Each structure stands twice: as C-alpha cells, then as structure tokens.
Structure 1
Amino acid sequence: MTYTKSNSYVDGSSHSSNISSPRIKSAYVKENIKASRNTQNVKSVVLNALAFTENEDVQIYTYVVNDFNNYSKNANLNITINLNLLSPANSTADTVDFFSLMDSYLQKKSTRYDIYFYDLIYTTEFEHYFLNLKEWIPQDHIDMFPYAEKSESFFYNNKLVGLPVYLDYTVLYYNDKLLKKYNKSVPKTWDDMIEIAKYILDEERKQNNTDLMGYNGGFIDAEIGTGGLYEFMYTFRDSVDDSFPDLISQNAVNALKTMKRIKNEISSDSIFKSIDYSIEKLMDGNGIFLKFGYFSW
C-alpha cells in the first residue's frame, strides 16, 4: 500500500521549541563573560541549559548544544553549555510536569539554569521572566529567523523573548492506491476531501471492506490535539498571508462546522480521539486520508 505526502493542508506548525534566557541571570552571564575575556582569574564560562523531550532518540537539543560547544572550543570562546535533558526515560516528567518545573524555577528566581528550551505555547506564560534578546544578539543573527519578530510566539510585549530551535509540522497522507483505483485526484480543499472519502468508503463497503478509515483527525485530549485544532482553524483564513482567524469570526465558525461535518460523514468521535488506531491504519493501508507528523520514509 502506497501513501504519499500531500501539501494540500500543510499550513502552520503543531509544535515548535524556543530558546530563551531568564532576566535573573543577565548580570551573572554578562559579567562572567566579560571576566573570562578580560582577566586571568576567570578562564571560562559555563552555562546551564534545561530541556525536555518525549523521546531521546529523536531530539535536537543534544546536537545543538554539542555543535555550539565544538564551535566555542575552535573559536577559543571559553564558553561551555551543560545540558540537562529530561525525558520519561530518566525522570517521571512529561510535558505538563516540565512546564511546572520551569515555572517553579523562574518564580523562585533560581540561578540554576541560564538557558531554557521550551514549547512556544508557553511564551505568554514565561515572557516576563526572559531577557530581550535584541539587546544581546546581533541583528544579522536575528534576521536569520525572518518570522521571529513578526510572531507573538517569539516577540511579545515589545521583546524578543525567544528564537526557534526546531519546527515540526503535520502533512496529509493520501492513499495513492485507492485514489488511482477510483480515478480520484488529490483534494485541494476540505470539501473535496470529504466528497472523495465518502465515495471511496461507500464503494469499498460494497466490496465488504468495512475496516477503512476516511480521515483520522487527531484531535486527542492532549497538547497535540489542541495544536491540531488551531492548525485546522488556521486553514480557514481568507488569504495565505492572513493572520490566525479571530475565534469569534465567521472563519472560525466555518472551521468548526467543517470539522463536525468531517467527523459525521467520514470519521467518528472515537477515531478523532485515537492516535494508536490511526497509526495502525497508516501502516496496514486501510486509511484514505490521514494526518500525521512528517515521516521521512
């Protein structure tokens, strides 16, 4: 069974990670960097970083930190970053626990960590603790991230409080074999997808294939589900260059009506809330349109 990635509905991101430094460490970091360069007494600076990952095998933080440390060594910067990477493998922490841990350190004005890697959904919660990076980082470096100063995920209350470390995103997988079987094209709109999935579901049921999934949704009761909800609503803006629709706008209403129509006509409540079953359908070929993170196969 062949699945192909479609960019028809790739619009925005589900997850992203920011890097920020707390305001409480600014004097400490600044003075120690000066000392390391201008005196014989302090020969190096050690910065401590905190991050969380669900899976240590597919995370970027270790690579980023090691890459900087190698650069620092080769450039004789005498700056080293020590990374404390939390995961379910070495702690009881999950995403919510990590948020609480960060919140605890920052509220107590702890000097334990200089750098935090965090999910951008928490920017508004933490921004008042963080430095304005525009005062610390050259503009030509900031310009490497063209959306950093245009998005409230990074630029908030007139401060650049973080920079993106990585971006992951979802794509729509379509069942190439079934679309070819019924001479259907890749859909370009949600309405197209609904009509194509309904037709194929009906035709396959006539052949006793009752184990076919039309669309999975992925709106589970977790952070990824909330991200999926916002991602879906984002596709209902009037123009590709428009910002996120207001939650009380007609665009948002139309998005929720379409989501309900998808659930009722080609999916179900249980399918919308299931990840494991959706993965099973992706693997066994019994799905028509399935939304997942990008996999490089």
Structure 2
Amino acid sequence: MYPKPLIAAVALGAASLAGAGQAQAADLTISCGAVGTELTLCQQGVRAWEEATGHSVDIVSTPNSSTERLSLYQQILSANSRDIDVLQIDVIWPGLLGNHLLDLAEVLGEDAAEGHFPAIVENNTVGGRLVALPWFTDAGVLYYRADLLEQYGFEPPETWQELTEIARTIQDAEREAGNGRMHGFVFQGRAYEGLTCNALEWIASFGGGTLVEADGEISINNDRAAAALDLAASWIGEISPSGVLNYTEEEARGVFQGGNAVFMRNWPYAWALAQSEGSEVRGKVGVVKLPHGGEGGSAAASGGDNQSAAASGGETQSAATLGGWNLAVSRYSENPELAADLVAFLTGHDEQKRRAIQGAYNPTLAALYQDEEVLEAVPFFGELYDTFVNAVARPSAVTGDAYGRVSNAFFSTSHDVLSGSKSGEQAVADLERDLSRVKRRNW
C-alpha cells in the first residue's frame, strides 16, 4: 500500500502551492501535473467548477516524470485507496490502469465523448468501457530560433542531418560572437518515458519501424534504427550539452527559453511560455514538424536476417510521437458521480478552448481547430493539424500490461547509446533479445 503519510504530505504540499487548501475535508481530490502552466490552468478550471457547483476540490500535484507518476498511481490504485478521485493519466495508461477506473459512459451517458478525436476515444476504451475522457492531445514538434536562422541564412531543417549541420554552424558562430552558453539542440534525454518518445521519433523518421508493430512484431533490430540512435549519440557534447542526458521537458525548455539553444524538441505547451513576458526568446520562435531521416544514405538498411520490413529503403517521413493526457475517475472514489461531473466539465469545450489559448494545450475537440481565437493564439495548431492527428502511437495497446517493461528497456538502452556505452547496432540487437523475452512471458 502506498504510505498514507507520504500521500498526505504530497497533498499538503500541493495545497500550499496551489493555494487550494480547505478548512475541512474537500468533496473531491484531483491530481494535476505541474509541467509548464499545467498546475495553474488546472487550478483555474477546478475553481470555476467549484463556483458553479458549490463543491470543493483539493489538488494533488504529482511528479513531473510520467514514469514516476505511473508508479505512484499503480501503488495507490492497487491498494484500492480513496485518496485521489480524479486522475490525470497519460495516453498510454488506459490499458495499464483500466481495471481500476470508472466507466464514464455509464455515469455520463453513451455520448460522453462526443466531438473528441475518435482515435483517442478508442484509445481510452478498454474492454468496451470508457475509462477516461480526453483532456489534451500532444505530438512532438521542433522549436527553432527564427531570428538566428534568418540571420545566418537558413530555412528550418527538413532532415535530422540538416538540423545537425545548421545547429553546429549557428552554435559555433554564436559562441565566437560571445555567447559561450549557446547550444545547437536540446531535447528530452533523461532515461524516462520522454526519451521513449524522442527515440521513437528518431527511429520511425528514419524508416526503422516503431519498436513493436501493431501485429506484435518486434521491429527494432534493423540498420535504420541503429543509424538513428547513432546520429543522436553524435549530438552529445557537440550540438547538445552533456547535461541533456538528464533533461526532461522543463530542463530543455529552460535552456531554449533562456536564449541558449537554436533548436528544441518539445511538446506544444512550450509555445505559450516561450511567448510570455520575460521570455528571452519572445517573438523570436518558430515551430515546424520534426525532421525526417533523409532518403537512403547512411541510414539505408543493408538487408539480412534481422532487418525489419520497415527498414527496406525508400523515402522517410517526419514522425511525431503521440502524447496527451486524459482525466479518469478512480473506481474507489467515494463520490464517483460528482468526480465524473468534474471530469466532464474540465474536458468540455469551454475549458479546452481556454487552455488552448492561455497555455497552448492541444484540444481533443476537432471543432476547436477551426476556432479563430484559438488559431490566433497558437497559429501552428492549424499549420500542423496533420501532425497532431497522424502522430505515431507508442506500442502500449499491443503490449498491454507489459508496456512499462517495454518502454523501460527502450529508453534505458537508448540512453546507453546517447551516453556512449553502446553503439546503435549493439543497442538494437540487445533490445530485440530483451523484448523477445518480455513478449514470451506477457503478450
């Protein structure tokens, strides 16, 4: 069981941070993330629901690392704990946590998810039960210093090789001009779920498959996947600081927003913060789809018994990992109907529009991508619409309960390549062996 004193301490700390503590027990408790403006926007939405209903809510801030947050949730739910009523869950968790979550269609009606992207609704439906409502969706995007690219005569890169060359050129020129802290590219390189997202983008964009395909085939052991990881490893200490090996989203944003990086891979939420007052890069940032691996060249597969069909040559394409978060209700909540009402409110049209405008959080309601106020606040929502609706899913559906072990093996081995302890070729061979062992036991 998750220790009661610890969960109480977390709740107390969050209440102090949020200014949302109650003199007496609240009617509900909700867990919110605290990456970027997440916690502030959650507080505001909860406050609006409290004012509309007269009920009270305590906000629990959970770890920013999705890996650590999942572990916390699993311990709480496995203990049938009533400590958290509404949980903010990652798009890859419905299958892992579904047995502990309320069927929202039973409480809110069969049209509870009407208007949301069908693919996300399907993702959140486990065994015919709607275990979560979409709150915001995500896909990885490339941020760039538009002023610096213009100054040095470059267009945004279309391939990872172009990004490498442009980043090195501008980094070196800026350092020579006196900015010794300038880096070419920052991303999420810590050994956690964020690196799974980054590495999946590199590999898929090289034509190296998606780690585990929809039919359960383990596709990672191929030359294109190895080449993608090797290219990423070449960035460390060159165009990326060595510290990137411990960066999550916020560390990468801090460097870029402080004016010390040419490129950054991150989620759309970073846009609003980069454009905020006090940002060193306000008005100097552009956003485009992530690069692809190029055609042929060093990434071309050479054939052989262990080559994936995905690595059979041809033109490569940009790949963005599907992200996003949902709201779910614990089956152990003492107030399930009230909790479901809070979820419906927070995931509704008005709240999603407010969050899109104020925080650049991608709506899961298709209609909001034609909303003039939303597009004025975040222009790339319209320009990159196809990127968001066609993002590459992590293999959580096909691997089921084993996904945590699959992702852990993937990000750990990818981190080994980035840190120089393995080559890409060795890493993909090791991954195939490790994932085959997990597959035999679990799916």
CA, structure 1 residues 156+250, in 2 after alignment: closer, same or farther (shift >3 Å)?
Answer: same
Match of 1:106 among 77, 96, 103: 77
For residue 211 of structure 1, report the CA deviation from its aligned partner.
4.7
Letter in 1 for 2:262: I
Match of 1:51 in 2: 31
- Cα deviation digits, residues 114-158 of structure 1 (max 9, x gap): 43333344333211122333333334331221233332xx12333
Match of 2:87 among 88, 95, 116: 116
| C-alpha distance in 2 between matches for 1:207 and 1:114 | 54
- Cα deviation digits, residues 76-129 of structure 1 (max 9, x gap): xxxx4x4332237xxx99866654553344333345554333334433321112
1:194 aligns with 2:174: no
TM-score, scaled relative to structure 1: 0.60
For residue 185 of structure 1, report the CA deviation from its aligned partner.
0.9
Match of 1:270 among 217, 224, 242: 242
For residue 251 of structure 1, report the CA deviation from its aligned partner.
9.8
CA, structure 1 residues 176+274, in 2 after alignment: closer, same or farther (shift >3 Å)?
Answer: farther
Letter in 2 for 1:177: D
For residue 264 of structure 1, report the CA deviation from its aligned partner.
0.9
Match of 1:76 in 2: none
RMSD (Å) for aligned C-alpha atoms = 4.1
Match of 2:150 among 167, 173, 180: 180
Match of 2:132 among 153, 162, 165: 162
Letter in 1 for 2:134: P
For residue 290 of structure 1, report the CA deviation from its aligned partner.
1.9
How many equivalent residue pairs? 237
Match of 2:419 in 1: none
Match of 1:84 in 2: 58
Higher RCO (Cα < 8 Å, 6 or more apart): 1
Match of 2:227 among 249, 253, 257: 257
Match of 1:282 in 2: 256
1:67 aligns with 2:48: yes
Percent identity at matched positions? Answer: 21
| C-alpha distance in 2 between matches for 1:163 and 1:145 | 9
Match of 1:137 in 2: 108
Match of 2:187 among 212, 217, 221: 217
| C-alpha distance in 2 between matches for 1:65 and 1:284 | 31
For residue 259 of structure 1, report the CA deviation from its aligned partner.
3.9
Q: Which moved more, 1:259-268 or 1:245-254?
A: 245-254
Match of 1:229 in 2: 199
Structure 1 gap ranges (5+) = 1-45, 74-79
CA contact 1:174–1:290 (8 Å) conserved in 2:
yes
Task: Looking at secondary structure, tell me which structure has more helix per residue.
Answer: 2
